[in-house]
């Protein structure tokens, strides 16, 4: 197998886990896995299902670009290399069952919870925690729940929140330069070898809200969630602005 940064001698092995948008495969190296990005899309805890043609390629390549940028800024990520349009070689992590959300502008569930209008600016970015559980529908939790459920140690949680804000400080201006407002996004962290913490999962229009700077047009998965149309075009536009030329898909 080869990838962009170096040649690695790992072979893909059996499926470890299949999620709604990705499949994770073991490799011949116990510390490495392959993330395969599907075109499948779900919303509202999989009540709504569909396909976004070319999404897997966009999400894989966009995540790779942003993981490399974050690594340069000193954020440890699980990204090791790009194997193909839909396959990423990653460090094997024990994923912490917390979804960490950072918000710069009111949207989605925060608008519903607070009654504030979508689009209201947030002066100081907000970090929220959700329990990663499909069975429970990812309920919002706080630090006391994290301790009670033993999801992460206080030191791990403090690192996650600090790192989430650092990631926001790197990505927000980077995207704004490309005329994208980073409204909010979801992160997942995990423990690698020696329990060291890394950013995992993906950073893509599935996991970020991205609005055009001038028109505030939604260029992310909300087009699918809310049946706004133009879903594929929005993903390709984000790809063009953040990665390069549109994909073939």
Binding site for ligand TMP (CB under 6 A): 101, 107-110, 138, 184-186, 207-209
- Provide the minimum distance between the beta carbon of 13 and ligand TMP in the complex, in angstroms, as a whole number: 28
Q: How far is the CB of 22 from ligand TMP (least distance, A)?
A: 12
Q: How many CB atoms within 10 Å of residue 227?
A: 11
Q: Could you tell me the smallest distance in angstroms from the CB atom of residue 190 to ligand TMP? A: 16
Tell me whether residue 9 or residue 124 sits nearer to ligand TMP (CB atom): 124
Distances (CA, A) of 207 to 10, 89, 145, 248: 29, 19, 23, 22
Q: Give the pair of three-digit tokens for residue 132.
A: 């990663």
Residue with tokens 């330069």: 177
Return the number of the residue (3 or 97) whose C-beta is nearest ligand TMP.
97
Which one, 77 or 207, has the nearer CB to ligand TMP?
Answer: 207
* CB atoms inside a 10 Å sphere around CB 42: 18
Q: Which two tokens stand for residue 216?
A: 């505030």
> Which is nearer to ligand TMP, 101 or 146 (by Cβ)?
101
Structure tokens at 29: 């190296």
Task: Give me the numbers of helices (H) and strands (E) for the chain, helices first please.
Answer: 6, 15
CB of 125 to ligand TMP, least distance (A): 13
Separation between Cα atoms, residue 69 and residue 173, nearest integer Å: 12
| Residue nearest ligand TMP, CB atom distance | 108
Q: What is residue 218's DSSP assignment?
A: B
Rounded CA separation 57/59 (Å): 6
* Closest CA relative to residue 188, chosen from 97, 73, 87, 54: 97
Q: Which of 27, 59 has the CB closer to ligand TMP? A: 59
Q: Which is nearer to ligand TMP, 110 or 157 (CB)?
A: 110
Rank residues 39 and 184 by Cβ distance to ligand TMP and give the closer one. Answer: 184
Min CB(108)–ligand TMP separation in Å: 2
Q: How far is the CB of 165 from ligand TMP (least distance, A)?
A: 15
- The least distance separating ligand TMP from the CB of residue 138, rounded to whole angstroms, comes to 6
Residues 6+ apart with CB under 8 A from 107: 118, 119, 183, 184, 209, 222
CB contact at 8 A, 41 and 55: yes
């Amino acid at each position: 197998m080869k990838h962009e940064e170096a040649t690695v001698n790992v072979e893909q092995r059996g499926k470890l886990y299949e999620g709604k948008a990705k499949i994770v495969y073991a490799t011949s190296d116990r510390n490495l896995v392959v993330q395969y990005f599907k075109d499948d899309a779900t919303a509202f805890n999989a009540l709504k299902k569909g396909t976004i043609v070319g999404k897997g390629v966009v999400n894989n390549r966009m995540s790779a670009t942003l993981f490399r940028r974050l690594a340069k800024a000193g954020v440890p990520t699980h990204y090791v290399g790009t194997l193909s349009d839909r396959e990423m070689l990653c460090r094997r992590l024990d994923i912490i069952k917390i979804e960490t959300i950072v918000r710069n502008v009111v949207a989605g569930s925060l608008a519903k919870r607070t009654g504030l209008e979508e689009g209201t600016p947030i002066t100081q970015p907000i970090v929220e925690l959700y329990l990663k559980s499909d069975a429970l529908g990812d309920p919002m939790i706080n630090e006391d729940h994290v301790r009670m459920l033993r999801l992460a140690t206080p030191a791990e949680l403090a690192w996650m929140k600090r790192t989430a804000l650092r990631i926001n400080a790197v990505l927000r201006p980077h995207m704004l330069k490309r005329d994208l407002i980073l409204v909010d996004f979801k992160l997942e962290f995990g423990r690698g070898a020696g329990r060291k913490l890394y950013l995992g999962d993906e950073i893509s229009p599935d996991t970020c809200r991205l609005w055009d700077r001038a028109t505030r047009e939604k260029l992310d998965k909300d087009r699918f969630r809310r049946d706004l149309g133009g879903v594929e075009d929005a993903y390709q536009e984000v790809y063009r602005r953040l990665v390069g030329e549109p994909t073939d898909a």
